[in-house]
Amino acid sequence: MDARQSHRAATRRVRAGRITALAVASAGLIALAVAPLAAGAASRHATKVPVISTARNASLGTILVSGTTVYTLHPSGTACGATCLKYWPAVVLPKGAKKAVAGSGVSAAKLGTVKRAAGVLQVTYAGKALYWFYKDKSPGQVNGNITDTWGKWSVVVTAKPTSGTGTTTTTSPGGGGVGF
């Protein structure tokens, strides 16, 4: 092999090495960007066992909360994946926990779990998976009673309103609220 051919071969190896390094670095950056969406949304609230309790909403009655209002989903044809979970974080248990805590006004017998990706346990109430809505900032707010790409989201009402006082009060402090 003459010097020119040897130089070309060396140049190709360097370019191939640079392309490989760039591909690996790009894949790593993509993984870093996507991982928090999928894993972070599910575990964002999983630092302590959620307390599912009730709050009074003037228009809806007594509703379920865990720090903020929790919702159930009647799904559409589009699954609630990573993008959905950015807006609708699942109410999940921390690693090692087996059940959520029933707070004031909640039947412990109606609380359960469903297994999600990576063995994460999502809290259920009466067999329906529970989610928070990212726009709710305090217990009793119901900004997520909507229909969107993923389906119809509904607050869990445990008792219809009895009077029109126009106030929202919390019957238990709850836990694991939305931290946005």
DSSP string, 4-60: HHHHHHHHHHHHHHHHHHHHHHHHHHHHHHHHIIIIIHHHTTTTS--EEEEEEETTT
Q: What is the pLDDT along the chain (180 residues), one digit of tens a residue?
A: 666 666 666 666 656 555 544 444 444 433 333 333 334 434 444 579 999 999 999 999 999 999 999 999 999 999 999 999 999 999 999 999 999 999 999 999 999 999 999 999 999 999 999 999 999 998 889 999 999 999 999 999 999 987 655 444 444 333 333 332
